[in-house]
Amino acid sequence: MTRILPTAVLALSVAVPALASERTYQCNDGQQRRIKQVDSQTVWLIDSEAGGEERRELLSQAVSASGVRYASLRSEWWEKGDSALLNRLGQNQVQCELVAQAVTEDRIMVQIGWRERRAFPGATLEVQLLDVSLADAPAKVISAKTSVLEVGIPLAVALPFKPAEIDRRMTYAVSVRLTQDGKLLMLNTTRNTVLTRGAGKVAEVLLVAPDKP
**What's the pLDDT score for residue 8?**
36
- List the one residue out of 131, 111, 132 whose CA is nearest residue 176: 111
pLDDT for residue 14: 42
State the pLDDT at residue 34.
Answer: 94
Whether the pLDDT of residue 52 is over 80: the answer is no
Ranking 126-130, 175-179, 198-202 by mean pLDDT, the lowest is: 198-202
- Read off the pLDDT band of 103 (50, 70, 90): low
pLDDT on residue 19: 53
Instruction: Say if CB 160 and CB 142 are below 8 A apart.
Output: no
Taking the C-alpha atoms of residue 59 and residue 186, their distance in angstroms, rounded to an integer, is 33
Judged against a pLDDT cut of 50, whether residue 77 lies above it is answered with yes
User: Which of these ranges, 5-9, 13-17, 118-122, 138-142, has the smallest mean pLDDT?
Assistant: 5-9
Are 66 and 50 contacting, i.e. CB atoms less than 8 angstroms apart? no
3-state secondary structure (DSSP) of residue 164: helix
